């Protein structure tokens, strides 16, 4: 679809959905849940296999219940993400609350003009979690993303994620951007979502959710190269449309840690986040499509 057709036919619909009251939004989400889960069966085989491998101790009925809860939550996240087009800062803070201790933790580094790394996973509403920094703080955010193949949707998501500010950077341009900021003595918070699937040969391998799992080592490489402190952002769903954010310090001196320790730390915190609320993680992702390379 051309850019002008997208702007004329698609964007107005997305904005219209965004201004709908929440009770209508969640009514639409219920309908989409029926379509996605029962009619289309979107990636149901992937979800059920992921749950089976991650929770072998649970019964088939328990895993099926988690799957149903996940699909409803997944649809909620889609519509809640569209709400970012028009939601106010005050309304966002009311629905996506960061505790005072975590706010103070961030401010501690802002006052030192210290660049930090914030890492999270696809838990809760990860889009709201990624935007929360620019809502709560005036401090610069350098958010890292993987460009979408569809250029219209890529621009739409960039505009949506950057609505409250922030510097959104493609992964392959990150090092250059960070070096420029360092030369200019500008501190930032580097925002990373670190639970996608990397190439198995270059990944750090660990045990995650009961199985061998490749982990992107970009968080660790960045932290050790620049000696930036690393925080983990936990996202918990309180109820429909409401989330709680809390930040935990993983390390203040990355260069003092042995190789692999930072990757282990943020992966362990992610697993804890998932096990607290299994249905809020992105189970449609083909997280375990690679086998661990054999060492000679």
The per-residue pLDDT for 272 is 97
* Structural tokens at position 96: 């996506």
Is residue 296 over pLDDT 60? Answer: no
Which is more confidently placed, 158 or 45?
45
Q: Write the CB contacts of 31 (distance below 8 Å, at least 6 apart in sequence).
A: none
* Structural tokens at position 41: 């069966």
The rounded percent of the chain whose pLDDT value lies above 90 is 78
Lowest model confidence (mean pLDDT) among 67-71, 72-76, 284-288? 284-288
> Which of 113, 123, 218 lies closest to 170 in space, CA to CA?
218
**Which 3-state string (H, E, C) describes 53-86?**
HHCCCCCHHHHHHHHHHHHHHHHHHHHHHHHCCC
Burial-class residue 164 by CB neighbours within 10 Å (0-12, 13-18, 19+).
middle
Mean pLDDT of 97-105: 97
Q: Write the CB contacts of 283 (distance below 8 Å, at least 6 apart in sequence).
A: 46, 47, 50, 51, 67, 70
The parent domain of residue 44 ranges over 3-280
* Structural tokens at position 252: 């203040």
The answer to whether 171 and 177 are in contact (CB under 8 A) is no
Beta-bridge partners for 117:
190, 230
The per-residue pLDDT for 129 is 96
Answer whether residue 287 is part of any domain: no
The answer to whether 121 and 281 are in contact (CB under 8 A) is yes
Mean of the per-residue pLDDT values for the chain? 94
Number of domains within the chain: 1
Give the residue carrying structure tokens 């802002």.
110
Answer whether residue 51 is part of any domain: yes
The per-residue pLDDT for 58 is 97
Give the residue carrying structure tokens 């009619």.
39
Answer whether residue 171 is part of any domain: yes
pLDDT digit string, tens, across residues 183-201: 999 999 999 998 988 988 8
Answer whether residue 229 is part of any domain: yes
The per-residue pLDDT for 228 is 96
The per-residue pLDDT for 30 is 98
The answer to whether 32 and 75 are in contact (CB under 8 A) is yes
pLDDT digit string, tens, across residues 204-232: 999 999 999 999 999 999 999 999 999 99
Answer whether residue 207 is part of any domain: yes
Cα 186 off chain centre by: 25
Which is more confidently placed, 3 or 42?
42
Which is more confidently placed, 68 or 160?
68
The b/e string for 222-245 (b: 16+ C-beta within 10 A; e otherwise) is bbbebebbbbbbbbebeeebebeb
> Which of 196, 207, 140 lies closest to 171 in space, CA to CA?
196
The per-residue pLDDT for 6 is 82
Answer whether residue 185 is part of any domain: yes
Mean pLDDT of 44-55: 97
Answer whether residue 290 is part of any domain: no
Answer whether residue 257 is part of any domain: yes
Per-residue pLDDT band at 109 (split at 50, 70, 90) = very high
- H/E segment holding residue 249: strand 242-251
Cα–Cα distance measured from residue 277 to residue 188, given in angstroms and rounded to the nearest whole number: 30
The per-residue pLDDT for 295 is 67
């Amino acid at each position: 679809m051309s850019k002008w057709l997208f702007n004329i036919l698609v964007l107005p619909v997305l904005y219209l959905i965004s201004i709908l009251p929440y009770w209508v939004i969640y009514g639409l989400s219920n309908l989409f849940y029926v379509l996605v889960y029962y009619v289309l069966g979107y990636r149901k085989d992937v979800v059920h296999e992921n749950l089976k491998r991650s929770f072998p101790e649970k019964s088939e009925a328990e895993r099926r219940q988690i799957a149903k809860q996940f699909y409803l939550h997944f649809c909620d996240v889609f519509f809640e993400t569209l709400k970012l087009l028009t939601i106010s800062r005050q309304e966002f803070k009311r629905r996506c609350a960061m505790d005072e201790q975590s706010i103070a933790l961030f401010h501690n580094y802002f006052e030192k003009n210290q660049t930090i790394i914030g890492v999270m996973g696809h838990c809760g509403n990860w889009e709201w979690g990624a935007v929360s920094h620019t809502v709560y703080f005036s401090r610069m955010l350098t958010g890292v993303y993987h460009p979408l193949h569809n250029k219209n949707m890529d621009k739409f998501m960039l505009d949506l994620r950057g609505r409250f500010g922030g510097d959104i950077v493609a992964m392959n341009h990150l090092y250059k951007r960070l070096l420029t900021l360092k030369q200019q003595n500008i501190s930032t918070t580097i925002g990373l979502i670190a639970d996608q699937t990397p190439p198995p040969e270059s990944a750090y391998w660990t045990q995650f959710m009961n199985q061998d799992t490749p982990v992107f080592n970009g968080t660790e490489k960045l932290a050790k190269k620049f000696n930036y402190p690393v925080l983990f952002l936990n996202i918990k769903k309180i109820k429909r449309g409401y989330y709680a954010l809390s930040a935990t310090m993983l390390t203040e001196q990355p260069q003092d840690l042995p190789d692999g320790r930072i990757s282990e730390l943020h992966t362990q915190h992610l697993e804890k986040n998932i096990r607290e609320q299994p249905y809020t993680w992105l189970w449609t992702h083909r997280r375990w499509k690679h086998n661990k390379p054999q060492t000679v």
